[in-house]
Amino acid sequence: MILAAALTLVLNATVTPAKAAQLVPMTVTVSVVNRSRNPVTLEFPSPDLFFVQVRDAKGTPVFDSRTGHKPIPVHRKMVFVVGRTKVESFDWSGLNDARNVVDPGQYVVHVEMAGVTQTLTADLPVTIDAPQTIDSVLHATTPAQATIAGTPEREGGTTYLRDASERIALSLPLGIRPQGTFVARGVMQTILNQKIFTVSRYSPAAENDAPEGTPTPRPLPSLAPSSLPRSR
């Protein structure tokens, strides 16, 4: 949890989980603490109270919640009572602005409330773990949710995903003619004596320029609003 102060107001943001495999959604919860003895009013240049960026180790944004969203030029005021006010929760799907899965590594989730007279910010470190090898998933003693990555192959009506260690049969195709590296999340199951990786979500890897596959579920970030109106 990171706190960022601006005068009497403190932006409080948390990320859950702060360390996860690729394609595991992360929830950013935003609230504001008024440390003064009186309510404080902030004015915003649009109905959007805040935005979220995910930045890589060099500080370059790989995801921005404002991408594809044009703010409405209507000012909005919000009163923060004494104590804590929950703003909203924002769910990031783990995809970048190109709708591909971000690479494993260290990132910073930047949350910013840009008011007309002052700006509140918070930066939270997060870790995206590398995928498991297909061999380790195939031979796991107890099946569990896992993220794998590889190149798709088609054989006998079944789509396989192959990495350097092994290949695995998938429960569904990765689009019409998938190309390049794909990342998939799911669980190993045995169906009719065949080991099948049951896919719950998938998307092209970050370096995949011509995937010809549509990520699932839809790559847009979702908002889980609190009692306030909407502000991966």
Do 36 and 123 lie in one domain? The reply is yes
**Burial class of residue 138 in the structure, from the number of CB atoms within 10 Å of its CB (0-12 exposed, 13-18 middle, 19+ buried):** middle
| Parent domain of 102 | 2-129
Pairwise CA distance, residues 106 & 98, whole Å: 19
**CA quadruple 228, 230, 231, 232: dihedral, nearest 10:** 130
pLDDT score for 39 = 92
Do 185 and 72 lie in one domain? The reply is no
Is there a domain that residue 175 lies in?
A: yes
Collapsed DSSP state (helix, strand, coil) of residue 90: strand
pLDDT score for 194 = 86
Do 21 and 116 lie in one domain? The reply is yes
Specify which residues 74 forms β-bridges with. none
Which residue, among 31, 11, 32, 41, has the nearest Cα to 88 in the 3D structure? 31
Is there a domain that residue 216 lies in?
A: no
Is there a domain that residue 151 lies in?
A: yes
Q: Name the helix (H) or strand (E) containing 222.
A: strand 222-225
Do 172 and 72 lie in one domain? The reply is no
Place of tokens 């590296």: 181
Place of tokens 């929760």: 89
Pairwise CA distance, residues 2 & 7, whole Å: 16
How many structural domains does the chain have? 2
Do 29 and 140 lie in one domain? The reply is no
Do 120 and 19 lie in one domain? The reply is yes
Do 12 and 120 lie in one domain? The reply is yes
Q: What separation in angstroms does the CA of 116 have from each of 47, 61, 84?
A: 12, 23, 21
Specify which residues 225 forms β-bridges with. 88
- Give the domain CATH number at 185: 2.40.50.140
Task: Identify the segments of the chain with pLDDT beneath 70.
Answer: 1-7, 210-232
- Of 129, 150, 169, which marks where a domain is finished? 129
